[in-house]
Structure 1
Amino acid sequence: MADLNGDQAERVVKEIAAAGEAAHAMVVDVADPESAQAVADTTAGMYGGHIVRL
């Protein structure tokens, strides 16, 4: 779960976990290309797959 508001992301992750699923909270500012790229890189590292470049 990526959101500009880290607290909101954490709340959503808790809801997802309560439903029996796995999730990870990350803070992202999509207006900042470096922030968006960091989320893409972290996600690729966590779940495998291709490296995403934005």
Structure 2
Amino acid sequence: MPAGGGAAAPWRKPEAVRERITGCGDAEALGRRLRRAVTAPSADEVFGDG
């Protein structure tokens, strides 16, 4: 549980996230995901189309 005592952070998807990142060979898509990851509240937001 996080230090604040709340629910687990939505980023707690290491296997699924790792597979999506390592399976991507598109440098532009990886760059977009990296930029989104800076402020995204969850992994779903990083990989979203919007």
What is the TM-score with the length of structure 2 in the denominator? 0.34
Pick 1 or 2: higher relative contact order, CA cutoff 8 A, min separation 6: 2
- Identify, as 1 or 2, the structure richer in strand: 1
